[in-house]
Structure 1
Amino acid sequence: MRSGHLMLACITLGIGTAAIGQQGVTPALTAAIKAPTRTPANIARDPYRHPAQTLAFFGVKPTDTVVEIWPSGGWYTEILAPYLAARGTLYAAGPSDKGLAGVKAKQAATPAAYRAVRYATFPTSTTAAAPAVPAGTADVVLTFRNVHNWRFGATDQTQAAFDQMFAMLKPGGTLGVVEHRLPEEPGPIEEAKSGYMKRSSVVAYATKAGFKLAAESKVNANPRDTHDYPKGVWTLPPGYAEGDKDRARYAAIGESDRMTLKFVKPK
């Protein structure tokens, strides 16, 4: 079922394939991606991250209550905030106030574009400054390139993270996961510490939490990525962990090969 990067492959039984292209990309989503409040450095990453096709694939609507997990500097928040500003709600859910500082700075600079943003703690904590996302209230939960961080930390928080994301969602709600993909075949590259995760591992965590895998897209796949760099996925742009060493080669590869998985909380 391989037919190029912009192909939606629905792998659950009874679901066929459909070309993604600009399917589901509405004028409202296009306007959010072109929002004047976005920073030029972030816009430059659009050809690698395909935000229009990715958010359309996950089915994010401007009236939704959306949770963005660990937004860090707010790359996707720059799009989601204006998209949801008029009729939706966006929870920026981070581990601490420090982890949400990037989004708070953007909100302070352009409050109108960020008026839908609320703050929550993730993972949940009884001592956190911000509350947790209320259970059963979210239409969509999104996490971009975070699963390996939960595996790579001092303790493995991955299953707890998926369990908490499951709890946030309404029955029938969507979990959208974009993660650096490690090939399934055995090899010398260690999962998580390299920044890559196997698709089977991500699916297993989600399934154990109660999710059903609904579909996956190759929109963020990159066949030029060989997955075997001395400093892991951070060797590739935009990190360039090797500095100027082989920089042109890594620039030609582009950003990492990524899985794009859509899970659903059963009704």
Structure 2
Amino acid sequence: MKKLAQYVLAATLGITATYASADAISDAVKSVLRSSDAKSRDEYRKPQQTLRFFGLKPDMTVVEISPGGGWYTDIIFPVVRDSGKYVAAHFYVDESSSDYYKKALTAFKAKTEAGQVYEGATVSAFHPTKALDIIDAGTADMVLTFRNVHNWYMREGDKGIENAFGAFFNALKPGGVLGVVEHELPESADDEAMKKSGYMKRSYVVAAAEKAGFVLEASSDINANSMDTADHPKGVWTLPPSLALNDEDREKYVAIGESNRMTLKFTKPKS
């Protein structure tokens, strides 16, 4: 019945859909449900290679941290929709939250309603000090976070980072995977740069994960960009897609492309 409903939705949108694929990740990346603008960023975000590196499988229970508008959700959700479970640990919203957070959460939840693209997805909340129970303890096979660590550090400092990685450890089953993609600050840079640049040192991220109990299983240069020096006037937001300087040196920053990023795969020990 679920596949029939998905077929009807696809047909309504004018999509030719195949559900018996041997490669769910590849199909999701290529899907016509993804906008051309979203696909244009695959060059820098390498979603197919990144998700394969983390080991995403269709039967997994996956928690995506702070998915925003759903750039990665458009890929992850179709992969696990039929055989697994997708949980969006989205923005925590209360009376003090910004309009941006409120609107983003409302828009995302609308996509999970009957007949919409994320029908069947679960929405929980994550905040590094206010909302840490992202899923029932010990039930997730994989927790994924893309370019979020700097936000927690800039807003909540070391305590926010400690809480975040502790929450991810608590959410995962023994043997579960934590996948982290984050803007990378050179180890030679001053630690103070992490407070406002949007870049984080790999050593800091690894140490935080290990303190929570994780083991670094592997790292990858999938999302590396050697042209990024990580010392821009407005931090990482100087680069695409933000281009915070607007037309000032625009060609220079467009030529650099998106940021240099670490890609880290951690595991929760089985015992």
TM range (shorter): 0.7 to 0.9
Return structure 1 stretches of 4+ with deviation > 4 angstroms: none
Residue 66 of structure 1 aligns to a residue whose secondary structure is strand
Give me the TM-score of the superposition, normalised by structure 2: 0.82
Give me the TM-score of the superposition, normalised by structure 1: 0.84
Q: Which of 77, 91, 96 pairs up with 1:95?
A: 91
Q: Aligned equivalents of 2:30 and 2:230: distance in 1?
A: 32
1:104 matched to which residue of 2?
109
Distance 1:86 1:205, change over 3 A: same
Q: Which of 50, 58, 61 pairs up with 2:57?
A: 61
Q: Aligned equivalents of 1:27 and 1:121: distance in 2?
A: 30
Gaps of 5+ in 2: 1-21, 94-101
Q: Aligned equivalents of 2:157 and 2:198: distance in 1?
A: 16
Structure 1, residues 59-92: CA drift from partner, whole Å, max 9, x if none?
Answer: 0101100000011111101111111111111110
2:48 matched to which residue of 1?
52
2:79 matched to which residue of 1?
83
1:134 matched to which residue of 2?
136
1:161 maps to a residue whose letter is: A
Stretch of structure 1 that moved more, 233-242 or 74-83: 74-83
Deviation at 1:262, TM superposition (A): 0.2
> Based on CA coordinates, which of the two structures has the bigger radius of gyration?
2
Structure 1, residues 141-180: CA drift from partner, whole Å, max 9, x if none?
Answer: 0000000000001554111000000000000000000000
1:74 matched to which residue of 2?
70
1:153 matched to which residue of 2?
155
State whether residues 150 and 198 of structure 2, in contact with CA within 8 Å, keep that contact through their aligned partners in structure 1: yes
Q: Which of 168, 183, 186 pairs up with 1:180?
A: 183
Distance 1:230 1:110, change over 3 A: farther
1:71 maps to a residue whose letter is: P
State whether residues 235 and 241 of structure 1, in contact with CA within 8 Å, keep that contact through their aligned partners in structure 2: yes
Q: How does 1:1-267 map to 2 (within 5 A)?
A: 27-97=23-93, 98=102, 100-108=105-113, 111=116, 113-123=117-127, 132-154=134-156, 156=158, 157-187=160-190, 190-267=193-270
Residue 111 of structure 2 aligns to a residue whose secondary structure is helix
1:7 matched to which residue of 2?
none
Q: Aligned equivalents of 1:164 and 1:145: distance in 2?
A: 17
Distance 1:154 1:172, change over 3 A: closer
Give the aligned CA root-mean-square deviation in angstroms. 2.1
Residue 163 of structure 2 aligns to a residue whose secondary structure is helix
Stretch of structure 1 that moved more, 250-259 or 76-85: 76-85
Greater share of residues in helix: 2
Residue 60 of structure 1 aligns to a residue whose secondary structure is coil
Distance 1:165 1:101, change over 3 A: same
Residue 153 of structure 1 aligns to a residue whose secondary structure is helix
Deviation at 1:186, TM superposition (A): 3.3
Q: How many pairs are equivalent?
A: 239
Stretch of structure 1 that moved more, 203-212 or 77-86: 77-86
1:16 matched to which residue of 2?
none
Distance 1:141 1:131, change over 3 A: closer
Distance 1:76 1:109, change over 3 A: farther
